[in-house]
């Protein structure tokens, strides 16, 4: 299917690789004008039908840069229909006694404060339009907990809570807010994990494979499309049925 996002303007953060990149590619294939932000400007989207994208270097933790880039986006595109708050980092396994304030702050800064301030930068335009889709990305680790993931799970659990807060606060303005909760997805973030962990994950996954970035991008396309018009405040697992 294609054309589900025709005439939509979509902003994807953390869009240089992995889930963000795949989401930007899928959104463009569905007809959206896609604005891709990452620490370094993402490569232009591959040739395909659909509007050419806009790629910019924007660190979501830098409030001034976020607000300035959002102003440029609105000046260039005239509107903002979809935000995918995808930028995220993980410090990997950190046992509780070893967790420093610096690591905790850094993870919360990107995964939580970064997401909050990108929403703040675009929500005024969405409210004025009286329409918008805000999509957050959590993790199965927030659902089940996982040893050594204090900072990451704190940030993702907070995003799930904010998905519900924003759904209630922004619903009256025609804005829906949902989150996807991926399982283990094969992306550069997980490239150093090794085969043993991946074998364990597959063994606990009824669908018998690891997730792909395209699995998560497909959920984002649906949540951004007209078909999900009456869905808000939802946290949708995309994990192959993973059992912890
Ligand atoms: P990735 O590391 O491959 O890509 C993340 C992107 O975010 C990178 O391009 C990185 O440069 C960018 N980024 C990091 N800090 C940034 C900042 N301050 N400003 C702007 N961009 C920044 O990771 P991924 O696996 O594609 O993960 C994408 C999102 O999905 C993350 O939020 C991650 O927590 C979440 N997630 C991933 C998995 C998984 O198994 N891969 C599972 C659940 C949730």
49-58, 78-87, 116-125 — which is least confidently predicted?
A: 49-58
Q: Give the rounded distance of the alpha carbon of 145 from its chain centre.
A: 20
* Annotated catalytic residue 184: no
Residue 2 lies in a domain: no
Domain count, the chain: 1
pLDDT band at 18 (very low <50, low <70, confident <90, very high): very high
Please state the atom number of ligand 1 nearest to the C-alpha of residue 87.
Answer: 7
The arithmetic mean of pLDDT across residues 195-199, rounded, is 96
Closest by CA to 171, choosing from 116, 138, 134, is 134
- Regarding the beta carbon of 114 and ligand 1, being less than 6 Å apart is answered yes
Q: Is the CB of 182 under 6 A from ligand 1?
A: yes
In a domain, 91, yes or no: yes
Inside any domain, residue 244? no
**Which residue range forms the structural domain that includes residue 57?**
9-236
What is the rounded CA–CA span in Å between residue 180 and residue 106?
A: 22
User: From the CB of 175, is ligand 1 less than 6 Å away?
Assistant: no
Rounded to whole angstroms, the Cα distance separating 158 from 134 reads 15
User: Which residue CA neighbors atom 10 of ligand 1 most closely?
Assistant: 14
Protein residue with least CA distance to atom 43, ligand 1: 139
Tell me, yes or no, if the pTM score tops 0.95: yes
Residues 1, 56: Cα–Cα separation, whole Å? 28
Cβ 187 under 6 angstroms from ligand 1: yes
| Residue 1, domain member (yes or no) | no
Radius of gyration of the chain (CA): 17
Q: Tokens 């939802």 sit at which residue?
A: 234
Active-site residue (options: 93, 146, 152, 184): 152
Closest CA to 89 of 38, 33, 28: 38
Tell me the per-residue pLDDT of 72-93, one tens digit each, with 9 for 90 and over.
Answer: 999 999 999 999 999 999 999 9
Per 3-state DSSP, what percentage of the chain is helix, strand, and coil (rounded to 5)? 45, 15, 35
DSSP for 88-129?
A: --------GGG--HHHHHHHHIIIIIIHHHHHHHHHHHHHHH
Give the mean model confidence (pLDDT) for residues 165-172. 98
pLDDT score of 1 more than 70: no
CATH number of the domain that residue 205 is part of: 3.40.50.720
4 located within any domain? no
Is residue 76 in some structural domain?
yes
How do residues 220-243 score in pLDDT, each as one tens digit?
999 999 999 999 999 999 999 999
Q: Could you tell me the CA-to-CA distances from 12 to 37, 63, 93, 199 in Å, in that order? A: 6, 16, 27, 31
142, 185 in Cβ contact below 8 A?
no
Distance 208 CA to ligand 1 centre (A): 24
Instruction: Tokens for 189, please give them.
Output: 């973030």
> Do the domain assignments include residue 57?
yes
């Amino acid at each position: 299917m294609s054309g589900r996002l025709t005439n939509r303007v979509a902003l994807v953060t953390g869009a240089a690789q992995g889930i963000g990149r795949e989401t930007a590619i899928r959104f463009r294939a569905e007809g959206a004008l896609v604005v891709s932000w990452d620490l370094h400007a993402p490569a232009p989207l591959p040739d395909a039908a659909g509007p050419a994208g806009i790629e910019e270097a924007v660190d979501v933790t830098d409030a001034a840069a976020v607000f300035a880039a959002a102003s440029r986006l609105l000046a260039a595109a005239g509107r903002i229909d979809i935000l995918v708050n995808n930028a995220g980092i993980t410090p990997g396994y950190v046992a509780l006694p070893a967790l420093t304030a610096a690591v905790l702050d850094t993870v919360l800064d990107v995964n939580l404060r970064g997401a909050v301030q990108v929403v703040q930068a675009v929500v005024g335009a969405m409210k004025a339009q009286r329409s918008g889709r805000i999509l957050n990305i959590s993790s199965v680790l927030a659902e089940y907990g996982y040893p050594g993931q204090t900072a990451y799970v704190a940030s993702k659990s907070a995003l799930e809570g904010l998905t519900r807060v924003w759904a209630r606060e922004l619903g009256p303005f025609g804005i829906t807010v949902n989150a996807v909760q991926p399982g283990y997805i094969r992306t550069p973030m997980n490239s150093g994990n090794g085969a043993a962990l991946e074998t364990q994950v597959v063994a606990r996954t009824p669908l018998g494979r690891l997730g792909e970035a395209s699995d998560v991008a497909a959920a984002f396309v649906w949540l951004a499309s007209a078909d999900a018009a009456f869905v808000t405040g939802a946290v949708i697992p995309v994990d192959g049925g993973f059992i912890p």
